[in-house]
Amino acid sequence: MSERFEIGIDELFVVNVARTIKDKTTVFHGVSSPIPMVAMYFAKLTHAKDMVYFGGVSSAVDPNPPFLPPTTNDWVMIQGRTAMVTVDKIFDLAQRGELDRSFFSGAQIDKYGNQNVSMIGTPEKCKIKFPGGAGGCNLSGDCVNYTIWTTRHRAQRKGDRKFFTFVNKCDFVTNVGHVTPYGRREELDLVGNGPDWVVTELGVFDFDEKTRSMRLRYLYPDTTVSDVIDNTEFELIVHPDVRVMEMPSRAEVEVIRRIDPLGVRKLEYPERELSRRFTI
Amino acid sequence: MSERFEIGIDELFVVNVARTIKDKTTVFHGVSSPIPMVAMYFAKLTHAKDMVYFGGVSSAVDPNPPFLPPTTNDWVMIQGRTAMVTVDKIFDLAQRGELDRSFFSGAQIDKYGNQNVSMIGTPEKCKIKFPGGAGGCNLSGDCVNYTIWTTRHRAQRKGDRKFFTFVNKCDFVTNVGHVTPYGRREELDLVGNGPDWVVTELGVFDFDEKTRSMRLRYLYPDTTVSDVIDNTEFELIVHPDVRVMEMPSRAEVEVIRRIDPLGVRKLEYPERELSRRFTI
Amino acid sequence: MGVFTDRNKLVTMEKAASMINDGDIVAVGGGLCMREPIALLRELMRQGRRDLHLVGTAHGFDVDFACGGGIVGAVQETHVSFEQDFGLAPNYRRACETGQVKIRENCCNTIIMQLRASEFGIPFVPVRSIKGSDEIKLHPEFKPMIDPFTGKKIVLVPALVPDVAIIHAQKADIHGNLKIMPPYVADVLFIRASKKVIVTAEEIIPEKEMIEEGPTIPYYETTAVVEAPFGAHPTSCYPYYAYDREHISEYIKSAGESAEAFKERYLNKYVYGVKSPEEYLEKIGGKAKRDRLASWKESQERWMELFSYE
Amino acid sequence: MGVFTDRNKLVTMEKAASMINDGDIVAVGGGLCMREPIALLRELMRQGRRDLHLVGTAHGFDVDFACGGGIVGAVQETHVSFEQDFGLAPNYRRACETGQVKIRENCCNTIIMQLRASEFGIPFVPVRSIKGSDEIKLHPEFKPMIDPFTGKKIVLVPALVPDVAIIHAQKADIHGNLKIMPPYVADVLFIRASKKVIVTAEEIIPEKEMIEEGPTIPYYETTAVVEAPFGAHPTSCYPYYAYDREHISEYIKSAGESAEAFKERYLNKYVYGVKSPEEYLEKIGGKAKRDRLASWKESQERWMELFSYE
């Protein structure tokens, strides 16, 4: 076990997401969420054995699937379960303030953690239609906390323009962050406390208590503060004590490979990111 | 079959109640309702084979019990069923205006069909506590129509006072009739149309369209118009064409005896009523 | 409501009863004479619990017994009786008529909607039908309004959140998964609407077996589990036993006479003086009684006999 | 909603499709790539139905296909995609971006609560969480208010009553009893909230057998039943078949190219030109395909292969 062991960005990313899950909490992932799906199953098998694990829309309680499929609503995801509920019961739990964590992403994300999963343009004149937030609009308001993840932090250059995922302002707010276009969470009487962690392929972030804005906390071994700043449109807060994230153990990575033999954890990345490897 | 055949008031009463049930309708009986219980099962086996039969609080759909028990919430009442629902689904059906009929009774009943199943006196100073309306308050508002039944139409003399079931005014209105203490049904935006039939041990009644008051329609072979009037505190409307009710067939009575071998249909009568026999 | 992740929720009856506080709003499972958590009510009486506020739909033995045992302060059920089987509920009536118990009578769909509001985590729901009934007088918390969508009259009823649901299930495992067999009456709703869920179960089965059967209620919804064979007696808990008509008949005789007769002839015999479930079983008739109540499954005739017995 | 008592509800696919009208609000069962009533959607396209208003939660193949087939006027789903499996929904995107389809995007819990209001027969329900999201802009029918019980901000959402739910079930009998196997997603809710319920079923089984199994949905809640083996293809209908990844991959290729390519290479081949279920089965690969999609149960390896196949 003292030999050197190579892991991919996909595995390290999963661990980063899993670390936002605490034991003895209720956790749900939505649709189009391969990374949270792997991270939740991983957490349930490692540090969060008493987590109440809702396996997506399939809504099995504590499933023990033989492998993880590329779609969240397949019979694979109800195998080895303790019980079945219907998905509306998970939303009830959330609306009662008892769903501890979920995971959301967006094509655009602002500094307060608001996310656009709906569209660029207007409903009447829609330029780009994204899939829609599924349960995100409600759950981002209701969950005790949630984790934002995206594998597309890196801005894209098209000609001389730079397109950001982390934008100054979302064209449309689907899922709500700490300060919404309609006011702060407490002004809106929302049940939940909003996003507390953001995991991207460039770093891990929390939110500054005072300004409620995203704050860089951890870097990957191969990313720098300026990488992160360059790829973020809004002004990013950098924690005075930014560190390189802790690496997972070999045993942990082996769990990930075992539960995800199809590699669905890799589906979310632009091709080039997957060449990022780390030695532990 | 041309021989003469004797039937009891209990059997004739059940048939009177059953006649208020139409085929291809949804029908529910509540608790403390042995006569509606027998009448519904009888109807399902005779003239209302496609009735959707909700067997009481047990909430089996179309049960086929081997016998009828004296309590409505027993495993007997879920035997031979087509399906199970939960009782709240029956209330949903009613609130949607899709429960065609139910059955209610009361210790006091007024001319509009309002019933008191709650108390004499006030909540703070209660002289007599009745069991309570169960689902009656909601269902009497929601059901498309309902049947009122009582086996205690006869006023009781205590000393020189006469105590009526059919009273000028209920001390407390639990289940709502056509004109409530708070207004007419349509003023209250109630979903249902109120009681359309009243079956007692003295006669069968409907409601006058104009005054919305109880109106005598049928007599038993052994009762008279003045029997009924004497035992009714409010001024009763008498239909110009009052008749003696039609007798059931021998085959029909045999169905009742077969489905109710314990005789739960007899539980509701003062002892002396049960001696009333009729020949068909 | 509430989420409970303990791996081992098995507690004694004494401990379970101690989790219910004086003045709590308590949803009592089962209904009429079926699957009511009577053994737990007996323990609450022995512990001298007071002023419980009972909520639910159509009930019978449980509520009457709890009133007779002096542990109740208010009753927000929709109906309390022994139906035409044994008629009016003597202890409940007496408690209402003497003012010992506050009358908060409600109606089935209203209370179901109020419990749903609690289950769904919303503050209220509109109900169409209460209007016209004096039941609204018993509930000053209800708010009539004009529905802004249709312009029609409607009544807003607030979420009803029991402090605790007490449920007797056929089977449980120590993790808290439950197998309840229909009719559920309002049990599933009680469980999801209440802050705590205390379960007595006829049998504790291995978790593996429970998972194969498919739990009715998943573990995280239950707070504590007690092994309580015969825990619903004298109400029924099929398929184990039918209700004990002989026992209820004896109950009604003393309860119908007076509060004193009930205390002397029933409570002293079956509640206060009883040290263990085994002793209780002995007092109610021992193995012969147990066998007789299980005989319903032998034939239709045997089943019918259980309803004739007094 | 609606009560249907006919003893024999068995109809042809043509007849079933004819019961759905232009402009109807349609709740499509299943979700993402699972148990969606695709054969019925194909028949609606052949009949030239127009301007359907689709409602539901997280969907994929069905909504995209219906948009591509030109039968949709508005989409009130919460999410439409092929997840990271095949990504964005090309026909849906195109329909939204060209304005062919009106965007009425909603959120899962909101739509569930709106369907519950319909199921419960109440005009509206309050929802805590929409506030702060621009989704409220897409729904001028929602009414913000101050909760009169707590003084907090809340949003009233009206009952959503689909004209028809179209559901693909594993089993049905001719009386209309259904056996649906979990996950139900929102199917049970759709059935109870909709005015009509049209069911395609993998198998029609005798009523006696259905009653022994215990129906998920009782007969009076369904309007019509169609026997439709392979009726969910290319979405999954376990235990009969997994989803057909090969077919969906072919679908995505033409749909991703253009509306014309989709019509020419997909609709003409699999919809318009197809006269019978047998012909459809032949076109998608016949018995070999059917066997392969059923092979998931043979071993974990075979099951995994079905997710790798393109």
Beta-bridged to residue C68, according to DSSP, are none
CA distance D297 to B131: 56
For residue A77, the Cα-to-chain-centroid distance in whole angstroms is 19
Using a 10 angstrom Cβ sphere, with 0-12 exposed, 13-18 middle and 19 or more buried, the burial of residue D87 is: middle
Chain C residue with Cα closest to B172: C134
CA distance B73 to B86: 12
List the structure tokens of A273: 């990111």
Q: Are B129 and C92 in contact (CB under 8 A)?
A: yes
pLDDT at B22: 98
As for the ipTM of the complex, it is 0.97
- Alpha-carbon distance B88 to nearest alpha carbon in chain D (angstroms): 9
Domain ranges of chain A: 6-273
Q: Please, which contacts does D277-281 make with residues 24 or more away whose CB atoms are closer than 8 Å?
A: D277/D39, D277/D228, D277/D229, D277/D230, D280/D39, D280/D42, D280/D230, D280/D233, D281/D230
CATH 3.40.1080.10 correct for C13-105+161-296: yes
**Neighbour subunits, D (≥3 Cβ pairs < 8 A):** A, B, C
Question: How do residues B74-88 score in pLDDT, each as one tens digit?
Answer: 999 999 999 999 999
CA distance D4 to C14: 51
User: What is the full DSSP assignment across chain D?
Assistant: ------S--B--HHHHHHTS-TT-EEEE-SBBTBS--HHHHHHHHHTT---EEEE-SEE-HHHHHHHHTT-EEEEE-SEEEEHHHHEE-HHHHHHHHHTSSEE----HHHHHHHHHHHHHT-SEEEESS-TTSGGGGG-TT-EEEE-TTT--EEEEEE----SEEEEEEEEE-TT--EE-PSP-TTHHHHHHHSSEEEEEEEEE--HHHHHHH--SB-GGG-SEEEE-TTTTTTSBBTTTB---HHHHHHHHHHHHH-HHHIIIIIIIIIIIT--SHHHHHHHHTHHHHHHHHHGGGT-HHHHHHHHH--
Helix, strand, coil tally for chain A in percent (to 5): 25, 25, 45
Question: How do residues D190-241 score in pLDDT, each as one tens digit?
Answer: 999 999 999 999 999 999 999 999 999 999 999 999 999 999 999 999 999 9
SS3 C140: coil
* A145-150 and A195-200 beta bridge pairing: parallel
| Phi-psi sector, C102: left (phi>0), alpha (psi -120 to 50), beta | beta
pLDDT band at residue B3 using 50, 70 and 90 as cut-offs: confident
Tell me, yes or no, if D117 comes closer than 8 A to chain A by beta carbon: no
Q: Do chains B and A touch (3 or more CB pairs under 8 A)?
A: no
> Which amino acid does the sequence have at C249?
S
CA distance A18 to A107: 22
Question: How do residues B44-70 score in pLDDT, each as one tens digit?
Answer: 999 999 999 999 999 999 999 999 999
CA end-to-end span of chain D? 41
Residue C79 to residue B131, Cβ atoms within 8 A:
yes
Give the CA angle between residues B97, D4, D160 to the nearest 5°: 50
SS3 C75: strand
CA distance A245 to A243: 6
Tell me, yes or no, if A271 comes closer than 8 A to chain D by beta carbon: no
Question: How do residues C68-84 score in pLDDT, each as one tens digit?
Answer: 999 999 999 999 999 99
pLDDT at B205: 98
CA distance A115 to A130: 12
Asked whether residue B2 carries a pLDDT value surpassing 70, the answer given is no
Residue C122 to residue D128, Cβ atoms within 8 A:
yes
Compute the Cα dihedral for D276, D278, D279, D280 and give only its sign: positive
Domain ranges of chain D: 13-105+161-296, 126-158
Q: Pick from D34, D72, D79, D240 the residue to mutate for testing the A interface (most A CBs within 10 Å).
A: D79
Question: How do residues C214-266 score in pLDDT, each as one tens digit?
Answer: 999 999 999 999 999 999 999 999 999 999 999 999 999 999 999 999 999 99
DSSP 8-state secondary structure symbol assigned to residue B27: E
Compute the Cα dihedral for D281, D25, C123, A113 and give only its sign: positive
CA distance D165 to D175: 17
Which of C121, C122, C147 is nearest residue D123 as measured by Cβ atoms?
C147
For residue B162, the Cα-to-chain-centroid distance in whole angstroms is 24
Of the CA atoms within 13 Å of residue B247, those in its CB half-sphere come to 16
Q: Pick from B28, B91, B93 the residue to mutate for testing the D interface (most D CBs within 10 Å).
A: B93
Q: Are C226 and C172 in contact (CB under 8 A)?
A: no
pLDDT at A3: 76
Name chain A contacts of D79, Cβ cutoff 8 Å: 31-32, 117, 131-134
Name chain C contacts of A26, Cβ cutoff 8 Å: 3, 220
Residues of chain A with pLDDT under 70: 1-2
Q: CB neighbours (10 Å) of residue D297?
A: 11
Name chain A contacts of C3, Cβ cutoff 8 Å: 26, 52, 93, 98
Instruction: Find the length of chain A.
Output: 280
pLDDT at B181: 97
CA distance D67 to D101: 8
Q: What is the pTM of this model?
A: 0.97
Which of B50, B82, B92 is nearest residue D177 as measured by Cβ atoms?
B82
Question: How do residues C130-170 score in pLDDT, each as one tens digit?
Answer: 999 999 999 999 999 999 999 999 999 999 999 999 999 99
- Alpha-carbon distance D278 to nearest alpha carbon in chain C (angstroms): 37
Of the CA atoms within 13 Å of residue D226, those in its CB half-sphere come to 26
| b/e burial code for range C177-215 (CB count within 10 A of at least 16 → b) | bbbbbbbbbbbbbbbbbbebbbbbbbebbebeebbeeeb
DSSP 8-state secondary structure symbol assigned to residue B32: S
pLDDT at C219: 98
CA distance D61 to D108: 18
pLDDT at D267: 98
Architecture of the domain whose range is A6-273: 3-Layer(aba) Sandwich (3.40)
Question: How do residues D44-59 score in pLDDT, each as one tens digit?
Answer: 999 999 999 999 999 9
Place of tokens 């409620």: A212
Asked whether residue D257 carries a pLDDT value surpassing 70, the answer given is yes
Residue A83 to residue C3, Cβ atoms within 8 A:
no
